[in-house]
Amino acid sequence: MTEPKDNPLLEKLRAGVPGMSRRYLADFEISRISHRFTDVLVIGSGIAGLSAALAAAENEELEVLVLAKSSLEESATRWAQGGIAAVILPERTGDSLEAHMRDTIDVAAGIAEEENLRIMTAEGVERVRELVERGTDFDRNTEGELQLTREGAHSFPRILHRGDTTGQEIARALVEAALKKNNILCRPGTFAIDLLDREGSCIGALVANETGQLEAIWARQTVLATGGVGRLYRETTNPSVATGDGLAMAFRAGARLMDLEFIQFHPTTLYLAGADRFLITEAIRGEGGVLRTQAGDAFMKRFHELADLAPRDVVSRSILEIMKETGENKVWLDLGAIAEDRIRERFPRILELSRSFGIDIIREPIPVRPSAHYSIGGVSTDPNGRTSVPGLLAAGEVACTGVHGANRLGSNSLLEGLVFGHRSGREAARTAAGLPRPEPFPLPKPGKELSPEIVTNTPGGELDLADLLSSLKSLLWYKVGVERNGRDLSSALEQLSTWTAYPLAADFRDVESWTLQNMLQTSWLVTYSALRRMESRGVHYRADHPDRDDLNFSRHLAISRADF
């Protein structure tokens, strides 16, 4: 490996970073908290978590317990707009599994894991059929046949959708299916703080339960499906649950993480002061939407031959370039070329939401700018969801199967969560069926290895967490964003190392503070990974290393607690 030797900061940090070695966030006495036992514990209720739960629950002898930190429906899954890709009707479209694989590999910038991709495309067909059988009501034509649309870089129509609320429909169907199963128990409002392990094997999780009490859940097998990290950034399409808890928990438990530098930015997010950063789906540009400057210049043709349908990373960088040129903090998405009826039929939620902010998208352009959208990297898994920690599986956005390589094709993420969620659940059930109950055990006091001293977040205490959160999000946005360089990444990492040394060592007692600690740790890991990859590849663009360097970096970069 060339990187650590070339960068003294990375070398220094590998010698140890205060706070990053912390094993458990909460200080607890195992004998003084309540306990519970389950067979398969699933942390997360998005497409990956519920697919895992439904697959595990096929063994009716087993109990499956699903946790969600908010409601069961609140997840990135619920907010998905464009759709889910699968070669479901090849005889009608001329599509093939090979074509789906080829399209995915073409954008993956040389590091897609082809065996996992083969599994995803092939098994995706059966899993999507199952979704339909479970009652997911995708759009159909007047003959009642499923409608398939084509999105950027997909060479055939293969995207199933439901208007611009596809994710909401999928989440509804999966939650209903899970609630119908007698052996699946769901506990919304339960926050997983840390994974519990004995001698390196995961045996459940420490949680803050619905009443805010600490509780130990002992499980034969645990599936992590906690979603992405978008909320680390000031600008993001992601819902409030996407704070990287799962990545931080897995890191603390010793799991191998991979490809964390690959954060995908979506080019078009509604940008209005005070309004939520609502995603404006790429499908709008697929239908004829055009990006313009305030003066009306359709600028994308200057940057790429595919103009507005250029790959997402190119469009995001081009928008930032235009914002620099014009001094504006946004660009405009003009829907003038799309028929009014088509807008009403295809994008009802965007129409309604924009209207609530006083914008009539049929007559006026939408103010947009890029924002953090999707984490390509995550907890490294094998094709059955197994991580490097025995007893721990992972699926969905928190996991990394390598199928997207360094750049994700639109609508492949729901498919990945569906397929590998199912595989993880099936594998967890298979293993759990042959294992005895894990025994509760005494844990070391988490504070003992910490330095500096433990501080407590008492009212009027020393830390202004709201200020820290806002500084963290700005730091990531400006220094670890769409366009990166070594100087900014190094200064961000030094700043994060200072922050991790203090608030990460603090002993907090509430979900908000634990979440911030997870965000600090995850931000540190993403920044460290981005500094290590001294080249540009896929969504990771380094202005100081603008070319792809296949000699040194045509591979995944892994990181784990043992590295520090």
- Of the pair 309, 455, the CB lying nearest ligand SIN is at 309
* Binder among 51, 413, 497, 529 for ligand SIN (CB under 6 A): 413
Residue 283: name its binding partner from ligand SIN, ligand FAD, none (Cβ under 5 to 8 Å by kind): ligand SIN
Residue 20: name its binding partner from ligand FAD, ligand SIN, none (Cβ under 5 to 8 Å by kind): none
Minimal CB distance residue for ligand FAD:
46
- Of the pair 111, 399, the CB lying nearest ligand FAD is at 399
Which ranges of 394-541 would DSSP assign to H, the alpha helix?
A: 412-432, 465-479, 486-501, 511-532
Question: Minimum distance between the CB of residue 26 and ligand FAD, rounded to whole angstroms?
Answer: 12
Residue 498's CB is within 10 A of a number of other CB atoms, namely 12
Indicate if the alpha-carbon torsion angle 94, 97, 99, 100 is positive or negative: positive
Residue 417 touching ligand SIN (CB under 6 A) = no
Question: Minimum distance between the CB of residue 522 and ligand SIN, rounded to whole angstroms?
Answer: 20
Minimal CB distance residue for ligand SIN:
82
CA dist list (Å): 367 to 29, 141, 332, 355: 52, 32, 5, 13
- What number of chain residues touch ligand SIN (CB under 6 A)? 9
Q: Answer yes or no: 386 catalytic.
A: no
Residue 168 touching ligand SIN (CB under 6 A) = no
Question: Minimum distance between the CB of residue 72 and ligand FAD, rounded to whole angstroms?
Answer: 7
Instruction: Report d(CA 172, CA 208) in Å as an integer.
Output: 26
Choose the catalytic residue: 277, 312, 484, 532.
Answer: 312
- Of the pair 412, 523, the CB lying nearest ligand FAD is at 412
- Of the pair 168, 536, the CB lying nearest ligand FAD is at 168
Residue 328's CB is within 10 A of a number of other CB atoms, namely 15
Stretch binding ligand SIN (CB under 6 A), from 24-32, 407-415, 474-482, 503-511: 407-415
* Binder among 82, 228, 391, 402 for ligand SIN (CB under 6 A): 82
CA dist list (Å): 520 to 31, 340, 396, 495, 527: 30, 45, 22, 11, 11
Q: Indicate the angle between helix axes 486-501 and 465-479, nearest 10 degrees.
A: 160
Here the tokens at position 273 are 């002061």
Residue 193's CB is within 10 A of a number of other CB atoms, namely 24
Question: Minimum distance between the CB of residue 411 and ligand SIN, rounded to whole angstroms?
Answer: 5
Question: Minimum distance between the CB of residue 320 and ligand SIN, rounded to whole angstroms?
Answer: 18
Instruction: Report d(CA 44, CA 241) in Å as an integer.
Output: 10
Helix, strand, coil percentages, rounded to 5, for the chain: 40, 20, 45
CB-based contacts of 69, cutoff 8 Å, min separation 6: 189, 190, 191, 192, 241, 245, 511
Residue 226: name its binding partner from ligand FAD, ligand SIN, none (Cβ under 5 to 8 Å by kind): ligand FAD
Residue 192: name its binding partner from ligand SIN, ligand FAD, none (Cβ under 5 to 8 Å by kind): ligand FAD
Question: Minimum distance between the CB of residue 336 and ligand FAD, rounded to whole angstroms?
Answer: 24
Q: What is the DSSP letter of 436?
A: P
CA dist list (Å): 488 to 4, 46, 286, 492, 495: 17, 34, 35, 6, 10
- Of the pair 372, 480, the CB lying nearest ligand FAD is at 372
Instruction: Report d(CA 502, CA 455) in Å as an integer.
Output: 9
- Of the pair 350, 531, the CB lying nearest ligand FAD is at 350
Residue 282 touching ligand SIN (CB under 6 A) = yes
Let me know: does 222 contact 41? Beta carbons within 8 Å.
yes
Place of tokens 């709008």: 284
Q: Which of residues 382-401 bind ligand SIN (CB under 6 A)?
A: none
Place of tokens 């429906």: 73
Instruction: Report d(CA 40, CA 516) in Å as an integer.
Output: 28
Question: Minimum distance between the CB of residue 36 and ligand SIN, rounded to whole angstroms?
Answer: 36
Residue 81 touching ligand SIN (CB under 6 A) = yes
- Of the pair 391, 493, the CB lying nearest ligand FAD is at 391
Residue 141's CB is within 10 A of a number of other CB atoms, namely 9
Question: Minimum distance between the CB of residue 284 and ligand SIN, rounded to whole angstroms?
Answer: 8
Cis bond upstream, residue 444 (ω within 30): no
- Of the pair 95, 197, the CB lying nearest ligand SIN is at 95
Residue 282: name its binding partner from ligand SIN, ligand FAD, none (Cβ under 5 to 8 Å by kind): ligand SIN
Residue 281 touching ligand SIN (CB under 6 A) = yes
Binding site for ligand FAD (CB under 6 A): 43-49, 67-70, 75-77, 79-84, 166-167, 191-192, 225-228, 237-238, 241-242, 245-246, 279, 374, 396-398, 411-414, 417
Indicate if the alpha-carbon torsion angle 180, 186, 189, 195 is positive or negative: negative
Stretch binding ligand SIN (CB under 6 A), from 125-133, 213-221, 328-336, 406-414: 406-414
- Of the pair 238, 560, the CB lying nearest ligand FAD is at 238
Instruction: Report d(CA 297, CA 392) in Å as an integer.
Output: 52
Residue 286: name its binding partner from ligand FAD, ligand SIN, none (Cβ under 5 to 8 Å by kind): none
Please give the residue ranges that form the binding site for ligand SIN (CB under 6 A).
Answer: 81-82, 281-283, 374, 410-411, 413
Catalytic (active-site) positions: 312
